[in-house]
Amino acid sequence: MGLLFFLFLATTISDGSPAKETIPGDKVLLLGPGTGPGVDRAPGLSCLSWRLAVETNNIIDWNTVPGQCEDYIGYYMLGQQYRKDSAMVTNQALLHAQSLTVGRDGKDVWVFDIDETSLSNSPYYASQGFGAEPYDATSFNKWVLEAKAPALPESLKLYQKLLSLGIKVVFLTGRPEDQRNVTSSNLRLVGYHTWEKLILKQTSYSGETAVAYKSSERGKLVKSGYRIVGNIGDQWSDLLGTNPGNRTFKLPDPMYYIG
């Protein structure tokens, strides 16, 4: 069997719009034979079961994807199942939003994480590998500064629907404050054209856990009179802690763990 290539394609969100490639040709992930979806090559370890345990937060504080599961995770992230799983989450989020009675004071907000929630870093991981090697902050920050991350299509669709319902969006990210301009540019470039707030991590938060940081920032929103009617993120640390919102929605991300 020859080598297999997988290309992550994302459709535009407007109804009837043509599909467009969101990962350049030179970012296609090269995978070896026999590592397609559902294939477990690791004796004694089911990669599918490992991914389930990660998503349900039963495996915590992990640093890297098991080496023998890297190809499996690559196929998942660049294939249709990731898109289908994301759509299941965002569809449920939209149903929740549609059930709400939105206030007229403009204080109903929905919190969005950014990386692997609003923006996809799949092009970066397709070139660097899917988590079996330790996280390289230098190369990732270089990627962020390029402002080329595509939108996660399902999240962009949810974003647009929320705005049409009169719900405002707050982006809350662990990215540092010095990446504000490039993050703002990237968001606008891929279709996130407006927001109530874009909250990035100040240096004063250095050393705090993601749960503590995001809880604190959500607390400030509530104190300012905002009502968090929904919250979506790819990490459990986006959703746990205080003031999480009326409902939380967990997007899939088996590539890394942030506690």
Q: Which band of pLDDT confidence, cut at 50, 70 and 90, is reported for residue 7?
A: very low
Examine the pLDDT at 98 and tell me if it is beyond 50.
yes
pLDDT at 206: 72
CA neighbor of 213 nearest in space, from 226, 223, 224, 199: 199
pTM of the model: 0.85
Domain boundaries, the chain: 4-250
Alpha helices in 37-167 (DSSP H): 47-55, 70-78, 80-98, 122-128, 137-145, 153-164
22: confidence class by pLDDT, cuts 50, 70, 90: very low
Confidence bin at 205 (pLDDT 50/70/90): confident
Q: Mean of the pLDDT values across residues 246-251?
A: 98
pLDDT surpasses 50 at 14:
no
Cα separation, 192 vs 213, in Å, equals: 24
pLDDT mean over 215-229:
98
What pLDDT is attached to residue 204?
Answer: 73
Average pLDDT, whole number, for the chain? 86
Neighbours of 217 (CB within 10 A): 20
**Band of residue 44 on the pLDDT scale cut at 50, 70, 90:** low
Asked: is 4-250 a CATH 3.40.50.1000 domain? The reply is yes
For residue range 139-197, list pLDDT tens digits in order.
999 999 999 999 999 999 999 999 999 999 999 999 999 999 999 999 999 999 999 99
Cβ within 8 Å of residue 88, ≥6 positions away: none
Tokens, residue 174: 């662990």
Tell me the C-alpha distance between 45 and 66, whole Å.
9
